Amino acid sequence: MSQLEAASIDKFRVHFQGKVIVPKDDEYDEVRQIWNAMIDRKPALIARCVSAECVLQAVNFAREHDLLLSVRGGGHNIAGNAVCDGGIMIDLSLMKGVHVNPNTRKVMVEPGCTLGDVDAAVQKYGLATPFGINSTTGVSGLTLGGGFGWLSRLYGMTIDNLLSAHVVTAKGTQVKASETENADLFWGLRGGGGNFGIVTSFEFQLHPVGPDVLSGLIVFPFEQAKSVLTQFARFTESMPEALNVWMVTRKAPPLPFLPETVHGREMIALALCYFGDPDEGEKLIAPLRSFGTPYGEHIGVQPYVAWQQAFDPLLAPGARNYWKSHNFTHLSDDVLEVLIEFAGKLPSPHCEIFIGTIGGQTEKVSPDAMAYASRDARYVMNVHGRWETAAEDEVCIAWAREFFTQSQPFASAGAYINFLTQDESDRIAFAYGEAYKRLVALKAKYDPHNLFRMNQNIKPE
């Protein structure tokens, strides 16, 4: 607690409307834990907020005491920026309100919500907004970095559906940001990460979805990777926007529809979801089965909320994670060859490579309309290094980095900021492209002293 006297914390605790936790408290270790087990940092205090006023109090305290400040929403970000050493961790995870207006198809979401919290609330009305593919992901981090998932081809990025946000700024003010109020801040929030303030509520546009959708997996032997991947690349170039197909290659988990002899062996899986009439969807996905000779499949009509949780077991907290990512406008034969090579030497049974297919509506927004500028990206590839023990760190990280390097010549411009790890600060300007200079100027206006720097940081100049 070298940065902060106990008396200062006690004074803060008296007036703070939430809960203050310090290292001696029993729940300290539990609350400071985040999704990526590689991150083990120890803040001097944790301010658990229950309202926007709490957030304002915590930001003012951090500024007045010149404290390093981190912000936790879902705590799911790969870089681990939710928690800091020696400073204040502003924990939003108790702020989980979801307020749905089914008539206007809008929803107000507090910053501690996960995707699962929102999906459950809005699907009661057969509505949804484009989020990610893992229900335990936090809404805040996902949104501020751009956000994409199964619905993005049909309804755009998460930020394309953000209507407004309430923000606590570095100066200790509460403002609303939208197309008509503080429009410059609204521009920066949509892709600029947590650089410009702490969002205390998000307002999203909703769309008719489900509640039941045709979705599932087709799993192929890894020996058929060249055939499956080549046809996947061509198929996804012309499929309708209501259909989304992603690719995952990894060692097969013990899925009940796969023979036991397949468990633990390398495989190629096509994950799909269709937002339309299931009978029409079955006709559209029929060609996928001919890409090879499948080990098995599990496809059917199920609740959208169930499909949003399908990959949760493979992304549970407690493992060590290291990612590398590229954008692609086109999946060339060359990059597929590199992918097959590295998928054939996975260093851990938990490592995987996935290609998320976007395009469609995500391409129809001008690249200068928001801070997220990679509107030409039709595919986002994530090299997902994941393992259990520190002894595996070196080999797993080396595998991810080498694949990233070998596939880089075939990638397009930009990068998805939410997939950048803590050692990739050199890629931030590249990720934003032509938007970066405008972001620097915006940072100088709203956070000139860089109070919000535990993020993929845009430094004010």
**Is 5 a residue whose pLDDT tops 90?**
no
Give the burial class of 256: count Cβ atoms within 10 A of its Cβ; 0-12 exposed, 13-18 middle, 19 or more buried. exposed
- Phi, psi dihedral angles at 310 (to 5 degrees): -60, -35
Confidence of residue 167 (pLDDT cuts 50, 70, 90): very high
Task: Answer whether residue 257 shows pLDDT above 90.
Answer: yes
Is the confidence at residue 4, as pLDDT, over 80?
no
- Taking only the tens place, the pLDDT of each residue in 189-224 is 999 999 999 999 999 999 999 999 999 999 999 999
Residue type, 386: R
For 284, residues 6+ apart whose C-beta sits below 8 A from its C-beta are: 239, 240, 243, 274
pLDDT tens profile 308-360:
999 999 999 999 999 999 999 999 999 999 999 999 999 999 999 999 999 99
pLDDT at position 2 is 47
CA–CA–CA angle 394, 246, 240 (5° rounding)? 155
Q: Which residue type occupies 167?
A: V
Q: Is the dihedral of CA 111, 113, 114, 119 positive or negative?
A: negative
Q: Is the pLDDT reported for residue 12 higher than 60?
A: yes
For residue 187, which of 414, 377, 421, 443 has the smallest C-alpha distance? 443
pLDDT at residue 3 tops 80: no
Mean pLDDT across the stretch 245-263?
A: 95
Confidence at 10, pLDDT banded by 50, 70, 90 = confident
- Report helix angle 6-15 to 52-64, nearest 10: 160
Band (1; pLDDT cuts 50, 70, 90): very low
Quick: pLDDT tens for 48-106.
Answer: 999 999 999 999 999 999 999 999 999 999 999 999 999 999 999 999 999 999 999 99
Are 115 and 132 within 8 A, CB to CB? yes
Mean pLDDT value across residues 32-39: 96
Nearest-CA neighbor of 283 among 227, 214, 337?
Answer: 214
- Cβ(192)–Cβ(371) below 8 Å: yes
pLDDT of residue 459: 96
Q: What integer best gives the mean pLDDT of the chain?
A: 96
Q: What is the largest CA-CA distance in the chain?
A: 69
| pLDDT value of residue 413 | 94
Give the pLDDT confidence of 388-420 residue by residue, as tens digits.
Answer: 999 999 999 999 999 999 999 999 999 999 999
Q: Determine how many CB atoms are found less than 10 A away from the CB of residue 441.
A: 15
Q: CA triplet 36, 40, 42: central angle to 5 degrees?
A: 135
| Structure tokens given for 101 | 């207006």
Sketch out the chain's domains with CATH numbers. 6-91 (3.30.43.10), 98-209+435-446 (3.30.465.10), 212-419 (3.40.462.20)
pLDDT score of 461: 82
389: left (phi over 0), alpha (psi -120 to 50) or beta: beta
Q: Which residue has the higher pLDDT, 1 or 263?
A: 263
Q: How confident is the model at residue 441 (pLDDT cuts 50, 70, 90)?
A: very high
8 A C-beta contact, residue 206 and residue 304: no
